[in-house]
Structure 1
Amino acid sequence: MLGFGKENNKSNKKSVSLSLPNPHFFLTIPKHRGSLASEALSDVPSDIIIKSRIKYGSRWSACKGLLMEYSKSTTIHGIRYIFEVHRPFYEKLYWFFLISISLYYAVSLMWDTYLKWQDSPVILGFDETLVPVHKIPFPTITVCPEIKTDANTFNFANVSKKFWDEIAETNSFHNQQNLTDEEILNLAATLHICDTQVAESFAPFVPKDILPDVSQTLVDLSITKNETGPFCKWNGRFYFCDKIFNFVPTDEGICYQFNGLQAKDIYRDERFVSYRDPEIVDFNNYFDPLPKYNNISGNWSLDDGYIDQGYNSYPQRTAFSSVRNAFFAFLQGYEHNFDYACRSFRQGYKVFLNSPESVPLTMGNYILVPHGDEVMVSVLPQYVVSTENLHDFSPEKRQCFFNDERYLRFFRAYSQSNCQTECLANFTISKCGCAKFWMPKPLDVPVCGAADIMCYNKAQDELNLILQNQTMQKTMDANVKIMCDCMPACTSLEYNFEISRSHYNLEKTIRAFREVYEHSDFMGSRLSVYFKEHQFTAIKRTVIFSITTLIANCGGIFGLFMGISGLSIIELAYFFSVRLFDNLRKRRMSKKKLLQQEEEHEN
């Protein structure tokens, strides 16, 4: 029974030890409130009471015993005072109240931390070091003249007038004005770059069997590179512009491009585009008497930068921000080529700046260079880099795509403008069964003809409306999916610019140089593009709340309010798994032993 002494025969001294109570002891204890602690067990050590509850008590008593055992061992603050055997009730209530308040604040702060990790785990900030301009390529400059055709080759105003006069008279076209097949072919091709209202007025009446090679026809009708740009200057050296310009098809028609990547380096298959300029710009071979720079070798990508390339590189770069090392082009136009029947009343040149790996989006911002003006463009790069640990987050959380995450069907490298271009091309193909002359397309998809002009214009308007509606819906419901989902690239390069403009009087300039020019309707413009500074500040996309940070913050909050550490969690799992299983095993053995004792007693 409880508290019996045992005599030590070896030392002749008496010592008292406590053994576990008889199992029937708990059956004799009164069950009314407070009697267990105050009457029967007031002097019994708590360890014996806990073990007895677990091994011999009822299920409820065993659960309480397990909680008492855990509370004596846990490092969580305050728990032991709630479940301690001899602790007065009011003290237990006091500690329960304090622990509840601490737990409330801990959970609230942890929830706020979790929401911050969910909503804004990534932050955009300035990089710690300045980036010199020679680390990035000079912008790709695309010059799109408003003069689309040479009037001596094809006069759109005269041909369209004859075409329209017959339509106005007979409401049909049977070529009563005796237009040549070549003139009708050129008209059908030119309609693709005319203003929308002009194109949609003529297109339904163009004969269905007139199917020109739109891109090649527009190149043949355009003014030559050398006539539009007689001379250029790059990195302090003068060139004939036709030696450093490429023809490139855009939504604005055929444009002249400097420092763009070749089609084979932009597209997965260069046959995806309907026109490629056969004249490849080769900066290994210079066209001036000065000694040439190093031969171009190595490669460049937006993610890795320049690899094994010297000062002379592909794409081109510059080490200085002065106007002397800028890109300069003298652009000329003739009034007899001005065309107000196809295009708007605005004359001059649209200039687009973009990163070399992307195609120019002519629907975006552009620089207008009017005839008779000098325009100075000061460029400030916007270079965004991202740390590798951003791969741990989904693109939706970081709001960008890495190049290895988003596959584009037509383009080698992912960029927002390339994605938008592919999205428009795919949508146009699905709606019209053809692609506009400048769009990338599969090899088996034809180029749209004049009869399809209304279709692809409508498709573009429909796509813009869909994207606008989806974007507005996403502000109210985060689960709304946006078609194509063209988020920015995690590593991106764009060019912001500032413009200075002044009047340029070509006639007085020629007179000042004592020169004579043979054309009386000649108008000139000057364009200069240069970096504003030698170095610039890049933008760095970094992780502000990683998984490690979240765990550390939550652990700090739990440690402050509850004294919980990682081992406390392991300890909790241990007590209610391994220890629980062991106690249940001992409990079954004890019950089995009791049953055997009862059977022996009855016998």
Structure 2
Amino acid sequence: MAESLITMQEINHRSESIGKTPETDWDSQRDVKVKKKSNFVKDYLIDYTSNSNLHGLKYLGEKQRTSVERVFWFFVFTCCVVLCAGLIRKVWIKWNVSPVIVSFAESSTPVWQIPYPAVTVCLETKAKQSVFNFTEYYHLYNDSGTRENLTTYERNLYEDVTLVCDDHLAPPQGRKFGFGNETVTNIKEVSPNITDAFFGCKWKDIPKETCSDLFSPILTEEGLCYTFNNLGANELFRMENIHKDYQYLEHQNVAESWSLEDGYAPMTPIETYPHRGSGYGAKAGLTFLMKTKQIDLDFLCRGPVQGFKILLHNPAELPRLSQQYFRSPLSQEVVVAVKPKMMTTSEGLRAYDPNRRQCYFPSERYLKYFKIYTQSNCEMECLTNFTYARCGCVHFGMPHGPEMKVCNAGSMACIKKVQMELVVAEVEAGLEKRNEENDTIGEARKIASRCKCLPACTSIEYEAETSQADYDWKAIFRAYKLEIPPEMNDMMYSRVMIFFKEPQFITSRRSELYGQTDFLANCGGLLGLFMGFSILSVVEILYFFTLRLWCVVWNRRRNKKNASDLHQAGDMDVKSDKLKQNYKD
């Protein structure tokens, strides 16, 4: 009995000790767990550094290395990482900011693969003096005593003609707005027609019966001009968005198998439209003889300079002779040797943002009034929208929609002003304080900021090398001992010859400075040079911190569970042995 009582007391004492565990026991157990956890992380990192193929890391995990050695290799490895990251950053900036390089094509391009330049000719004589004496009406209009004697038609006609004269001649007290069809009709009535302007034309050394076979009327900011080899209105404009009051282009020639981006189709014949160059030299070009009567010359509308303005441009562009041209004076022969400049873009750049490659593919930029995107067409449309936002109207030579009013003489000062404003409006649009100054200015600057008229990814320009000499046509009559007809005594002539200078030219090409492969190669070279890094190193890192980590944790849990099971089984055996022993006792 005494022994049994002692045994029961021991059991109760053990149960009380199990039920009332001191706080120190819990703290000691928690410290053990934290220590085990930290040991696990440390051991795992040592395992990674010992087995990694990155240079220098293995010295950090080897147990036989001293602390000094480990600090040294940690410093060296950190320096290599920082230096490598800095160099890669420079490569990234170069790839991100300037990924495009412009180089010359591998082979030259023959001139028959591109269209002959469109040639637009504008006369400096805007109104024939024999039809409408602009100088006389200038004095009558600006004299308050005689202005009242002019009829409404005469005042309106004078104001309409000032739209194509020098800007300062437009009367500020004139009409602010007008009717576009009436203005264009009045300008055409007083302007020299194609018969008055051209004496004869030759294309590829073949004379034409009339110059109307080659040239057709076109409306520009300079008034009525004549153009050769330009696309028709239906191919140049989005007719559904253009007003129907008057036409800019009268001819309807269709581009048979040519586009700006793709050029001529492989099986396109030599004689096609737009005309293509089939050779070089004067015999393979365009020659035309201009004429004018001395009695029709006006030295007030366009100043003391007489003759003709000529512009060579892409057939898919609307010409702007107010911005760029060369002059053909009276009684002069001008010889123009043309050197094409063509820029193409590799397909590898199509995936890049237009601002990075600095050009637009045709499908990337929509123009409201033009079907074909070129930088010149974009700038013309931008000027139209900007002018309308600032002045409430547009010049009749600007393509515009039916809802836009047409400016007249009273708005010419505004048109002249906004052309200069547009140059700086895009910069000023970024200044929010200035945008708040005036609603009209703010809206105009928003329009300017949206222009962003980058070049087309495929563009063609024509550089002109000109030379000239006196053209004394009367000397021919004297040399042949011919009498000059009386009707020709008053005539003044100018001859222009335009042709390709060389049979081939070198095309420029935009291509990738750093493609994705080049970028990876440069980064990989730097990583390999400094750290011995490779794609397998990435796989190794992912392996150590995903699959291997999961496997190690799973194995530890399984081993822990097995040990716990064995421990519980051992405890049960001990308890059963003690119970048997007590029972025997």
Which range is displaced more, 385-394 or 334-343?
334-343
The residue type paired with residue 198 of structure 2 is G
Aligned-partner Cα distance in 2 for 1:230–1:278: 22
**Paired position in structure 1 for 2:69:** 91
**Paired position in structure 2 for 1:342:** 301
Give the C-alpha shift of residue 335 in structure 1.
1.8
**Paired position in structure 1 for 2:162:** 191
2:359 pairs with 1:388: no
Give the C-alpha shift of residue 245 in structure 1.
1.0
Q: String of CA shifts for 1:220-265, please: whole Å, max 9, x gaps.
A: 2211112211111111211221221111111111111111111111
Give the C-alpha shift of residue 405 in structure 1.
0.8
The residue type paired with residue 183 of structure 2 is V
Aligned counterpart for 1:543 among listed residues 503, 512, 518: 512
The residue type paired with residue 451 of structure 2 is C
Aligned counterpart for 2:388 among listed residues 417, 422, 429: 429
**Paired position in structure 2 for 1:566:** 535
CA shift in 2, pair 1:493/1:447, >3 Å: same
The residue type paired with residue 485 of structure 1 is K
For the residue of structure 2 that corresponds to 1:230, the secondary structure is: strand
The residue type paired with residue 148 of structure 2 is Q
2:135 pairs with 1:157: yes
Aligned-partner Cα distance in 2 for 1:212–1:268: 19
CA shift in 2, pair 1:193/1:297, >3 Å: closer
**Paired position in structure 1 for 2:544:** 575
Aligned-partner Cα distance in 2 for 1:519–1:254: 25
**Paired position in structure 1 for 2:261:** 303
For the residue of structure 2 that corresponds to 1:501, the secondary structure is: strand
The residue type paired with residue 582 of structure 1 is C
Give the C-alpha shift of residue 352 in structure 1.
0.8
2:89 pairs with 1:119: no
Instruction: State percent identity of aligned pairs.
Output: 33
CA contact (8 A) 1:332 1:525 kept: yes
Aligned-partner Cα distance in 2 for 1:93–1:546: 40
2:461 pairs with 1:503: no
Give runs of aligned pairs for residues 189-588 of structure 1, distance below 5 A.
189-199=160-170, 202-206=171-175, 213-239=182-208, 240-269=210-239, 272=242, 275-276=246-247, 280=251, 298-307=256-265, 308-467=267-426, 482-513=449-480, 514=482, 516-517=484-485, 518-588=487-557
Give the C-alpha shift of residue 297 in structure 1.
7.8
Q: String of CA shifts for 1:1-51, please: whole Å, max 9, x gaps.
A: xxxxxxxxxxxxxxxxxxxxxxxxxxx9xx9xxxxxxxxxxxxxxxxxxxx
CA shift in 2, pair 1:210/1:419, >3 Å: closer
For the residue of structure 2 that corresponds to 1:392, the secondary structure is: coil
Q: String of CA shifts for 1:260-287, please: whole Å, max 9, x gaps.
A: 11111111117726543675376xxxxx
Aligned-partner Cα distance in 1 for 2:220–2:426: 22
**Paired position in structure 2 for 1:48:** none
CA shift in 2, pair 1:212/1:310, >3 Å: closer
Aligned-partner Cα distance in 2 for 1:396–1:279: 37
CA contact (8 A) 1:410 1:441 kept: yes
CA contact (8 A) 1:215 1:438 kept: no
The residue type paired with residue 357 of structure 1 is A
CA shift in 2, pair 1:381/1:520, >3 Å: same
Aligned-partner Cα distance in 2 for 1:121–1:464: 27
CA contact (8 A) 1:56 1:590 kept: no
CA contact (8 A) 1:56 1:587 kept: no
For the residue of structure 1 that corresponds to 2:381, the secondary structure is: helix
CA contact (8 A) 1:375 1:528 kept: yes
CA shift in 2, pair 1:136/1:155, >3 Å: same
For the residue of structure 1 that corresponds to 2:129, the secondary structure is: coil
Give the C-alpha shift of residue 585 in structure 1.
3.5
CA contact (8 A) 1:246 1:281 kept: no
**Paired position in structure 1 for 2:107:** 129
Give the C-alpha shift of residue 446 in structure 1.
2.9
CA shift in 2, pair 1:270/1:185, >3 Å: farther
The residue type paired with residue 234 of structure 1 is W
CA contact (8 A) 2:175 2:408 kept: no
The residue type paired with residue 461 of structure 2 is E
Aligned-partner Cα distance in 2 for 1:234–1:471: 50
CA contact (8 A) 1:249 1:275 kept: no
The residue type paired with residue 308 of structure 2 is Y
CA contact (8 A) 1:154 1:186 kept: no
Q: String of CA shifts for 1:111-143, please: whole Å, max 9, x gaps.
A: 221121122211001000000000000111111
CA contact (8 A) 2:178 2:408 kept: no
Aligned-partner Cα distance in 1 for 2:464–2:360: 25
Q: CA RMSD in A?
A: 2.9
For the residue of structure 2 that corresponds to 1:404, the secondary structure is: helix
Aligned-partner Cα distance in 1 for 2:476–2:110: 36
CA contact (8 A) 2:242 2:400 kept: yes
Q: String of CA shifts for 1:33-86, please: whole Å, max 9, x gaps.
A: xxxxxxxxxxxxxxxxxxxx9x99622221111112222332212211211233
The residue type paired with residue 151 of structure 1 is Q
Aligned-partner Cα distance in 2 for 1:109–1:208: 62
CA shift in 2, pair 1:440/1:146, >3 Å: same
CA contact (8 A) 2:378 2:453 kept: yes
CA shift in 2, pair 1:281/1:503, >3 Å: farther
Q: String of CA shifts for 1:451-482, please: whole Å, max 9, x gaps.
A: 33333333323223324657999xxxxxxx94
Q: String of CA shifts for 1:541-564, please: whole Å, max 9, x gaps.
A: 000101221112111221222121
CA contact (8 A) 1:121 1:397 kept: yes
Residue segments in structure 1 that go unaligned for 5+ positions in a row: 1-27, 32-52, 283-295, 474-480
> Scaled by the length of structure 1, what TM-score is found?
0.80
Residue segments in structure 2 that go unaligned for 5+ positions in a row: 1-27, 433-447, 576-585
Give the C-alpha shift of residue 94 in structure 1.
3.9
The residue type paired with residue 459 of structure 2 is S
Q: String of CA shifts for 1:316-357, please: whole Å, max 9, x gaps.
A: 112111111111111111221121222222111111111011
CA contact (8 A) 2:117 2:313 kept: yes
The residue type paired with residue 519 of structure 1 is M
CA contact (8 A) 1:321 1:530 kept: yes
Aligned-partner Cα distance in 1 for 2:528–2:177: 79
Give the C-alpha shift of residue 532 in structure 1.
0.9
CA contact (8 A) 1:185 1:212 kept: no
User: Aligned residues, how many?
Assistant: 523
**Paired position in structure 1 for 2:3:** none
